[in-house]
Each structure stands twice: as structure tokens, then as C-alpha cells.
Amino acid sequence: MFRFRRLALAALIPAAALSLGLSHALAQSPAPAASVSPSPAPTASPSPAASASPAPVATPSPAASASPAPAGSPSPAASASPSPTAPPPAAAATPAPVQTADPFGLETTLESRKVVMVKGTANWDSAFDTLIDAFKALNTLLDKQGIKPAGNSMIVYTSTDDTGFTFLAQIPVDQDPKNLPKDMSIGKSPEGKALKFVHRGSYDNMDNTYEAITNHLDDKRLEAKDTFIEEYLTDPLKTAEDKLVINVFVPLK
């Protein structure tokens, strides 16, 4: 079986917290205005200058009436202050979509499809290069006959040991290719109940994925069949190896 390497995975959940206290600070700003308004009030108290005082008395009275007005004027300022603070909650809501993750161990049912396939064997040291050569051979055959693939390329592992493995490279098709080489044939892809796992990254790093799969099966006490399937969601012939996205299906007994 595979030579698995231990890897500790840690998931970091971003969190954001915001505190708003501007409205209280602004609400206290009218207090000095209230202390200023009593200062004109003593000027209204002198009654000796009755002839001249009426005009000034009229002026302080608006000042006294204006004292409530400042209380009203800061309130819009206070209401305006939360408006700049409105964007931060929106920014705090943005991490939510980041929590989307690939399902791990999702129960699914595989449907059999018509495929053109080629048998092969490979050593672990040159595994990915051997699989690429198999896909190239299948695609060359289909291109020459003008047949477009009807699905993603797949690898079905039929046996494994410490040195290497045997496999079937498969490409779904809607029509039968003609004049197949001896090592190629038309067949059916696997079907039945299986668990779905997702691998992202290079083929060399799949040891970590398969170790996690093995741990998942042990934890759930599930028994898998002696084969497993890799479905290449990204074209392995055109995609950088470290950008691969591969569905791993583990058929269950």
C-alpha cells in the first residue's frame, strides 16, 4: 500500500469584532454649550438699563432658545457618525464565504458510463508521468477520429504494492472509436456506492490525501473495496501539476 506521511492540518477561522462609542462622545459635546448659554443670562438680569437692555435682552433670549438648538444639531452629527461605521460590519460578513470547503467523505453513487480505456502498469517513482502518457495515447486516438470526450479523464487503480500499481486510464465517450490498438478497449466505468474526497495540488502530495482517507475509513469503521478511482476535474495534459483538482472515489463493500 501507500507509504503515507503524517501531516497535521489546522483550520484558522477568521473573526472580526468592532466596538462603536462615537455617539456617546458626541452626545457629551453639548455639555460645554450648556455651560456657555448661562453666561449671557446674567446680562439679562440687570434691570437698571431698561431702555437699552430690551435690545440685548432679546438677543440673549434667542441664545437661551438656541441652547436647545445645539442639542439638536449634534444629533444629526451623531447620526452621521454611525454611517462611516456601517462598512465595517459588511467587511466582517465577507469571511463567511471563505468557509466553503470541499466535502470530505461525501456519500455518492457512481453511474456507469461508456469509456475508451487503456491498461498500464507504473512504478511509484514515475507514476504521474506514466498516467500522463496513457492519457496522451487516448486523446490522440480520439482526436484522429474526431471524437470529443464526454466527461473527465479517470484512473481506476486495480492493484497496488510497495513498488507500483496497475491501472486503467479511462475517458468517457458517446460513440465507439474504431481500429483500437491491442492495449485499448471499450468498456464501462465503475458504478455503485462510494465516498467522495477532493484533492487539490500535485500528484506527489496525494499521499497526504490518501492517509486522511484511510483515517476517515478507520474512524467510521467503513470497509472499502480493493480499488479506487481518480477523476481529474482539471485537464492533466494542460494544467500545472500543482494546480490539479482531483476527485477521489472510494467504492464501499
Centre a 10 Å sphere on the Cβ of residue 45 and count the other Cβ atoms it contains.
Answer: 9
pLDDT for residue 103: 81
Q: What are phi and psi of 153, to 5 degrees?
A: -65, 145
Within-domain flag for 184 = yes
- The answer to whether 130 touches 169, Cβ cutoff 8 Å, is no
pLDDT at residue 89 is higher than 50: yes
Task: Please list, in sequence order, all residues whose beta carbon lies within 8 angstroms of the beta carbon of residue 194, skipping any fewer than 6 positions away.
Answer: 107, 108, 109, 110, 229, 249, 250, 251, 252
Task: Please list, in sequence order, all residues whose beta carbon lies within 8 angstroms of the beta carbon of residue 3, skipping any fewer than 6 positions away.
Answer: 162, 207
- Name the least confident of 40-54, 168-182, 237-251: 40-54
139 or 29: which leads in pLDDT: 139
Domain that holds residue 66: 22-98
Mean pLDDT of 205-213: 93
86/207 same-domain check: no
pLDDT for residue 101: 78
- Name the least confident of 27-31, 79-83, 169-173: 27-31
Distance CA 203, CA 230 (A): 11
**3-state class percentages of the chain: helix first, strand second, coil last, to nearest 5:** 40, 25, 40
Could you report the per-residue pLDDT of 2-49, keeping only the tens digit for each? Answer: 333 333 323 222 333 333 333 343 334 444 443 444 444 444 444 443
Burial of 209 (0-12, 13-18, 19+ CB in 10 A): buried
H-helix or E-strand spanning residue 155: strand 154-160
Would you place residue 125 in the very low, low, confident or very high pLDDT band (cuts 50, 70, 90)? very high
Q: Which of 98, 123, 138 is the last residue of a domain?
A: 98
pLDDT at residue 136 is higher than 80: yes
187 or 2: which leads in pLDDT: 187
Tell whether the torsion through CA atoms of 183, 189, 193 and 198 is positive or negative: positive
Task: Please list, in sequence order, all residues whose beta carbon lies within 8 angstroms of the beta carbon of residue 113, skipping any fewer than 6 positions away.
Answer: 150, 151, 172, 188, 189
30/66 same-domain check: yes
Burial of 4 (0-12, 13-18, 19+ CB in 10 A): middle
Distance CA 175, CA 116 (A): 9
44/111 same-domain check: no
116/85 same-domain check: no
Within-domain flag for 230 = yes
Query: Cα dist. 140→128, 145, 172, 181, 251 in Å?
Result: 18, 9, 14, 12, 30
Split into its structural domains, the chain has a count of: 2
